Amino acid sequence: MTNILHINSSLFGEDGKSSQMANQFIQALRSKLDDSALMSRDLHANPIPHLDGKRFTAFVTPAEQRTEEQKLIVAESDVLINELRDADIIVLGIPLYNLGVPSTFKAYIDHVARAGETFRYTANGPEGLLSNKKVYVFAARGGKYLETPMDTQTPYLRHILGLMGISDIEFVYAEGLNMGPDIADKALADARTQLLEKAA
């Protein structure tokens, strides 16, 4: 059994280009697998609360000292973390908003990147606690930013996933989607070709 965790973060939901790419990839991938299970999250339709002082305090309070409210907050985070732990393949549909990841995805990260759960601090620095996972990122962008200083998204994803011990990451980009129909159509066609190759 191959467990797939699928997370979309476009504010356009299933109509978002990043969502469409991720969905196409999953459909193609599952057609090649003998046995698979899929867990999907749409962070726009069902957003994770943004991290605040109350939530952070709940995370760092020792389990035996947590209030009932804090236990509920931590339980929500634990569900997300367990989905990550169980996943063999993680598929992320992520648009570029204002040169970064969507705030809904950042809120998700703030609930799964927890010291003592998905990484730990050591004398030699942080050590990831998740391993043996493959990540595919489907990134849709209105302009062209790849391999420029304005692409903060790619290094962020590598760093934050790496913090948790996940380093096997592949990206498929569709760039220039707001630069005219000809550029957009070619970008999406090229991305589709790439995602089908990766699914195979």
What local confidence, expressed as pLDDT, does residue 123 receive? Answer: 93
pTM: 0.94
Give bridge partners of residue 168 from the DSSP assignment: 134
SS3 call for 20? helix
Q: Which residues in the chain come in under a pLDDT of 70?
A: none
> Can you read off the two tokens belonging to residue 113?
């990147």
Burial of 98 (0-12, 13-18, 19+ CB in 10 A): exposed
Give the tens place of pLDDT for each residue, 69-98: 999 999 999 999 999 999 999 999 999 999
State which amino acid sits at residue 12: F
What's the gap between Cα 23 and its chain centre?
14
The domains found in the chain, sorted by start residue, are: 2-199 (3.40.50.360)
What local confidence, expressed as pLDDT, does residue 64 receive? Answer: 96
Tell me which residue has tokens 């804090």. Answer: 70
Q: Is 10 annotated as a binding-site member?
A: yes
Give the tens place of pLDDT for each residue, 3-18: 999 999 999 999 999 9
CB 164 within 8 A of CB 113: yes
Beta strands in the chain, from DSSP E residues, in sequence order: 2-8, 36-42, 89-95, 119-122, 125-128, 134-140, 168-174
Give bridge partners of residue 37 from the DSSP assignment: 3
What local confidence, expressed as pLDDT, does residue 177 receive? Answer: 96
What local confidence, expressed as pLDDT, does residue 174 receive? Answer: 98
- Taken in order 192, 194, 199, 200, the sign of the CA dihedral is positive
What local confidence, expressed as pLDDT, does residue 119 receive? Answer: 97
